[in-house]
Amino acid sequence: MANPAYFIQECPTCGRRLQIRVEYLGRKLVCQHCQGEMIATDRTNLRRDSAESNNDLLHRANELLETVARRNH
């Protein structure tokens, strides 16, 4: 079984950097440290404007895949 991909998000309540599985993007989460609520959002993958190209999205996906591949070796 492959390791899931993660991203880092700071808790808006306590400021801790949390490692969140990519499959939780867009879901409401609760910080395990302070019980603060948040929506899982990968800030590095947010669209800066409506003209963002598919190449930018593919580049980010490749970055995430490379991160997972490095962890598996």
Please state, in angstroms and rounded to a whole number, the distance separating the CA atoms of residues 40 and 30: 10
Amino acid at 26: G
Please state, in angstroms and rounded to a whole number, the distance separating the CA atoms of residues 8 and 30: 14
The better pLDDT of the pair 3, 48 is held by 3
The pLDDT of residue 50: 43
The pLDDT of residue 42: 83
pLDDT in tens, 5-54: 999 999 999 999 999 999 999 999 999 999 999 999 987 765 554 445 66
The better pLDDT of the pair 61, 1 is held by 61
- Please name the residue that has the structure tokens 């991160």: 67
pLDDT over threshold 60, residue 64 = yes
| Phi, psi values for residue 29, rounded to 5° | -125, 165
Q: Which domains does the chain have, with CATH numbers?
A: 6-72 (2.20.28)
Please state, in angstroms and rounded to a whole number, the distance separating the CA atoms of residues 61 and 39: 20
